[in-house]
Amino acid sequence: DAGVIQSPRHEVTEMGQEVTLRCKPISGHNSLFWYRQTMMRGLELLIYFNNNVPIDDSGMPEDRFSAKMPNASFSTLKIQPSEPRDSAVYFCASSKGQGAYEQYFGPGTRLTVT
């Protein structure tokens, strides 16, 4: 069974540009999580969905960030406009449900904003 798939794996863009990160969760998983990892702040939860509905977006840093999950097999995280401080590795993870289920992580997207 394929794991969590993320694209692109690397993204380099200029400040002010729009960036879209994509995620395909594991089939049958109904919870999806977006994380950001930096050296300074570690692993931060940005937003999570359950059954395609955003449950908690309190970790989204500001209005420049938005996330959607139009169906059970696809989610996007968009940054518009991007800034150098958004440079990080962005992970998507999925799980079967609440709490007791382990999360499976994708390989991440390394974003560099110049």
Partner 1 sequence: AQSVTQPDIHITVSEGASLELRCNYSYGATPYLFWYVQSPGQGLQLLLKYFSGDTLVQGIKGFEAEFKRSQSSFNLRKPSVHWSDAAEYFCAVGGVPGTYKYIFGTGTRLKVLA
Contacts to partner 1 by CB under 8 A: 4, 31, 33, 42-43, 45, 48, 50, 55-56, 91, 93, 95, 97-108
Dihedral of the alpha carbons of 67, 17, 92, 40, in degrees to the nearest 10: -110
To the nearest whole angstrom, how small is the minimum distance from the Cβ of residue 31 to partner 1? 5
CB nearer to partner 1: pick between 39 and 62: 39
To the nearest whole angstrom, how small is the minimum distance from the Cβ of residue 51 to partner 1? 11
Q: Which of 54, 59, 108, 61 is nearest to 86 (CA)?
A: 61
Respond yes or no on whether the N-terminal peptide bond of residue 25 is cis (omega within 30° of 0).
no
To the nearest whole angstrom, how small is the minimum distance from the Cβ of residue 81 to partner 1? 27
CB nearer to partner 1: pick between 19 and 47: 47
Other CB atoms closer than 10 Å to residue 76's CB: what's the count?
Answer: 15
To the nearest whole angstrom, how small is the minimum distance from the Cβ of residue 13 to partner 1? 20
CB nearer to partner 1: pick between 64 and 96: 96
* Residue 26 and residue 75 in contact, taking contact as beta carbons nearer than 8 Å: no
CB nearer to partner 1: pick between 38 and 80: 38
Please state, in angstroms and as integers, the Cα–Cα distance from residue 108 to each residue in 63, 65, 93, following that order: 22, 17, 9
